[in-house]
Structure 1
Amino acid sequence: MRNIVILGFTLIILTSCGNDEKPKVIYPENEEIQTTELKKDSTLIEIADIPIHIDSTKYLIHPIGEYRMYGSRGKVFFGSSSYSSGSFSITNYNRYEITGNLHNLKFQQLDSENLTSLTTKNIRIKSITFLRDLFDNTKKQILIYRVLDKDTNRDNELDDNDVETLYISNIDGSEFEKLTSEFQELIDWKEIGIKNRIYFRSIEDTNKNGEFDKDDKIHYQYVDFNSDKRIVTEYKPI
């Protein structure tokens, strides 16, 4: 009986240790956090998906991601790092949104064979959305991105344990820029077509404990596309 109690107590300790969550942000003392260059993984191969054409635009979008080899000794299986083993697909496209776990995009004008990269930075792109209502209203062709752009927890990986941010670009990938402030975690965003705006919320780790919780500050912001300048404006609904 005594051994069972000791074993149970040990399991509780090990379980509690294993569930300790690391902070999303580890702040440097005197320097800005830089994206950690990931070491090459021999099980990962760069792969491009079949290009995607968003109707009414003059560009193909080529998603670029990773491919992983599984298995050993004669049996090798393949699968993207975004989806399950055995699938060659690295993206999903539905209603003007591309989702996946992408390293980059390449853009190709319909009357050209040239491809242009979105970025040379080491990032992970979680989703790309075409602002369809904005296009219908103004003919402006804009893409919005959910991006992991820094190894904020300093574990030498870019993944969902890092801070998610919001980016924007033109339909050809030009003017790719960040909308959220440094170290602010994106909560959500939405296109409001009747105003030709996107609204988004982000949370700031005001107490600098590395976590985003009820003690931190939520920022409410929008970008108004009625203007040619992409200015992030903060507003206070509460």
Structure 2
Amino acid sequence: MKKINILLVGISVLLLTSCKQEAVKPKVTYDATKGKVKSRLDTTQIEVADLPIQMEGTNYLIHPVGDLSISEGRTKSSYGSTSADRVSFTISNTSEFEITGYLRNLKFQQIGSDSIKVLTDKPVLIQTATYLKTIADKTKQQIMVYTMADRDTNKDGKLDTSDIKTLYISEISGKKLMKLSPELQDLIDWNLVESKNRLYFRTIEDANKNGQFDKNDILYYHFVDLSNLGWVVMDYKPV
């Protein structure tokens, strides 16, 4: 009995140690000489596209592009259980004015044209793409806002949600794609204030360069005036 208790304690310690190591996985890994990070993208995945989406009041189709989702599963047959891969061809979810998922790109096609334009030719992982319908109603400008990872900041060989999240903006056509959040600052959240036609957002800087974003780091506050297409990021200090 004593040996069993010792064994159980040992297993518990190993599990706790494992969880602790997972919790402190850095979100940013800095180059030892230059403090820079590089982009990487898994090229072994199979790329597929969902059926196109048209946001209300716009003249463009949006084609979400992502990786084919394949998971292992078990199926029953007359000879018993067998292993089989389960394939999901759906890569995105769509609400009224937003597309969500883990997308490798978006492609834009003007109604009446066969030409399709990609949002970006760089490796990215798009998590949300939001059409600012209320801004379009007020200013006649049709704008998309994106949250995405655009660099393999933790250098684990993958571009995924473990990397820094960034904020981008573009016209509804996918043109004029512009990064709003500062380099190597993790996006916390963003909010549209319709009465001022402003897009507000917060970011955090890894000030102590420990690879984590926590209470010891620095918060920054920004906004962009969407009244015209001359998008300029402005800083402000509410605290």
Q: Which residue of 1 aligns with 2:15?
A: 15
2:84 to 59, 75, 78: 75
Aligned partners of 2:178 and 2:3: how far apart in 1? 60
Q: Distance in 2 between matches of 1:150 and 1:6?
A: 45
1:210 has 2:219 as partner: no
The separation in 1 between residues aligned to 2:209 and 2:168, in whole angstroms, is: 24
Aligned counterparts of 2:140 and 2:58: Cα–Cα separation in 1: 10
Unaligned ranges ≥5, structure 1: 80-87
Name the residue aligned to 2:40. 36
Equivalent residue of 1:75, what SS? strand
* Greater shift in the superposed pair: 88-97 or 110-119: 88-97
Contact persistence 2:38–2:155 (CA under 8 A) = no
Does 2:237 match 1:233? Answer: no
- Describe how 1:1-238 pairs up with structure 2 within 5 A: 1-19=1-19, 20=21, 21=23, 22-31=25-34, 32-40=36-44, 44-71=45-72, 75-79=84-88, 88-238=89-239
SS of 1:181's partner is coil
Deviations 1:191-216 (A, max 9, x none): 11111110001111111111111111
Q: Deviations over 1:120-147 (max 9, x none)?
A: 1111000000111111110001100000
RMSD (Å) for aligned C-alpha atoms: 1.6
* One-letter amino acid of the structure 2 residue matched with residue 176 of structure 1: L
Q: CA deviation at 1:29?
A: 2.4
Number of aligned residues = 227
Deviation at 1:6, TM superposition (A): 2.0
Percent identity between the aligned chains?
43
Partner of 1:77, secondary structure, is strand
Query: What is the distance in 2 between the residues matched to 1:59 and 1:217?
Result: 39
Please give the alpha-carbon distance, in whole angstroms, between the structure 2 residues aligned to 1:171 and 1:39: 28
Q: SS of the counterpart of 2:114?
A: coil
CA change 1:75–1:8 in 2 (3 A) is closer
User: How far 1:226 sits from its partner (Å)?
Assistant: 2.1
Structure 2 unaligned regions, length at least 5: 74-81
What is the rounded CA distance, in whole Å, between the counterparts of 1:28 and 1:144 in structure 2? Answer: 30
Per the normalisation by structure 2, the TM-score is 0.90
Equivalent position amino acid for 1:139 in 2: K
CA distance in 1, matches of 2:50, 2:109: 14
Where has structure 1 moved over 4 Å in runs of 4 or more?
71-74
TM-score, normalising length: structure 1: 0.90
Alpha-carbon offset, residue 39 of structure 1 = 4.2
